[in-house]
Amino acid sequence: MKPLVGITAWKRSLATSLGTESLQTLSSYYSDAVIAAGMDPIMFPAGQSPDTAERFLSLVDGLVLSGGDDIDPTSYGSERTAAKNFEEEVDLFELALIQAARRHEIPVLAICRGLQILNVALGGTLHQDMLASGTVHEPITPDDEPDEINARRHVVTFESDSVVGHLYGATEAKVNTLHHQSIDSLAAELVVEAYTDDGHIEAARCEGNWWALGVQWHPERMDSSHQHLFVAFRNAIEDSQTG
Q: Which of 154, 200, 218, 226 is catalytic?
A: 218
**Alpha-carbon gap, residue 51 to 49, rounded angstroms:** 5
- Is 104 marked active-site? no
User: What percentage of the chain's residues is helix, strand, coil (to nearest 5)?
Assistant: 35, 25, 40
For 138, the 3-state DSSP assignment is coil
Within 13 A of 201's CA, how many CA atoms are on the CB side? 25
- Is 159 marked active-site? no
Q: Which of 112, 180, 189, 193 is catalytic?
A: 112
Q: Which of 94, 189, 220, 226 is catalytic?
A: 220
For 190-215, give one letter per residue: b (16+ CB within 10 A) or e.
bbebbbbeeebbbbbbbeeebbbbbb
Other CB atoms within 10 A of residue 15 CB? 9
Is the Cβ–Cβ distance between 182 and 120 less than 8 Å?
no
| CA of residue 61 relative to chain centroid, distance | 17
Q: At what angle do helices 228-242 and 28-36 cross, to 10 degrees?
A: 60
- Is 206 marked active-site? no
Is the Cβ–Cβ distance between 53 and 101 less than 8 Å?
no
Other CB atoms within 10 A of residue 161 CB? 9
Q: Supply the residues annotated as catalytic.
A: 112, 218, 220
